[in-house]
Structure 1
Amino acid sequence: MKVKEAAALVGISVRTLHHYDKIGLLTPDHLTESGYRLYSDRNLETLQQILFFKELGFSLKQIKEIIDSPSFDRYEAFLLQRNMLLEKRSRLDKMIALIDKTIQYEKGEISMTNKEKFEGFDFSDNPYEQEARKRWGDQAVDEANAKVGKLSKEAQKAVAKRWDAIYTNLASLRNTSPASTDAQAAIKEWYDFLNNNFGTYSLDTFKGLGQMYVDDERFTKNIDKYGEGLSLFMRDAMAVFADQNKK
């Protein structure tokens, strides 16, 4: 779908889609020889998710951090977005009820205490927004995205390609011993890759990350796409690597 068609379908401007591409928030999967952007169904699904977050008050920077997070899960995000929208609707309903009551007060039909004039206002944080930030916008993700965000688009593609190659190699080794020479060489590549591209990982942090691959089903699901049991293999290999290199 060309950019004009995508913009017309969604009801946003072409300029907005160009801006999303420029900041790396939504890059179309295809580019014709003439330079025309072509949006795939996957791109449109991502755009839908972006617009949900935007409707909920997230900044474009926050949205990019969230959807770029390695632990981001679309289905889980939809559930959180639904809860956030219900929370927002509840607040709006209270505000509308307060306005209706205030109109009656202005017409002299009812009386209102000062306390009643502010009963519809709620300045507390949306608990579901806090949950979203906790899961996908934590400091580690912020640091990682800040580092990657400084790279050119070509460099970012190279990082993604290298990531895929490392995981493919690890998947081919997942039925061997995590302590084997080949497994440890492959896991060292992963350790060096993380430290070179996504921040600073101590050996303890690296070992803890491996455990998270198994404890957090979102990580497990994404990692095991490369091969069933890869998350378990990586956890064990990362633990061996961390313990051996501490000595």
Structure 2
Amino acid sequence: MTRGTDDLTVGRVAALVGISVRTLHHWDVIGLVVPSERTPAGYRLYAADDVARIHRVLVYKELGLPLAEIARLLDDPAVDPRRHLQRQRSELVGRISRLEDMVAAVDRMLEATTSGLRLTPAEQVEIFGTDWQPEWTADAEERWGDTEAWAQYSARTAALTPADWRVAAATTEELNAALATAKRAGVDPGSTEANALAERHRALYSQYFDCGHARHVCLARRFLEDADFATYYESLEPGLTPWLYDTVAANASLHGVDPATASWD
């Protein structure tokens, strides 16, 4: 063949399209992109149409198609390349949308795992009362930050506003007052009234992380063992801390959980 004035050597084509000479050699061997001409010494020369075919191959490769399928698409006269590309474009748009949703979900998770209780110390005291210690949040994260429950808590509270926390604090205060009133009135753990209160208490924590009956027992046990929790409940009603544990334990037993062996996981 007669060499065209615009024909390119394999090295120039490789540099032009951003692939290796070795790749072009391989495509030549398998018949995917065969250069139109060669020099008298046998060196490959690529015409403009050859370079255009290379670009089409690269597009199909980006779509994830295998080389054999690409060759069929390029060489089969029955294949409408425009319709095929339109279909691939539609699939790519859908894939981009799904990826954007995934990125948004990851961003929300990242924000949640680094935010926790998104209130200033002053807001925490204003909402939860003067007995609240803002460092408790940091202490809790240090103790449970690598647990599934903390991840759930962070994710579920990430979007809460100060107004939301005020509602949550009021709900907690109302429930604790009901617990203290029941203890003062001599309501027996295991009674219908006590079990209803136990379920309200468990539902309160279930807003923030999965709190089954076994975990609920573990929480009540924690209230007994932790001086800060015990002091708080005892300030509401003397003897409330052990009464709450007995109430939670009795309710858990009703649901098939042995309080003596209840574990978090």
- Which protein shows a greater Rg? 2
Could you state the TM-score of these two structures normalised by the residue count of structure 2?
0.44
Higher relative contact order (CA 8 A, sep 6+): 1
Could you state the TM-score of these two structures normalised by the residue count of structure 1?
0.47
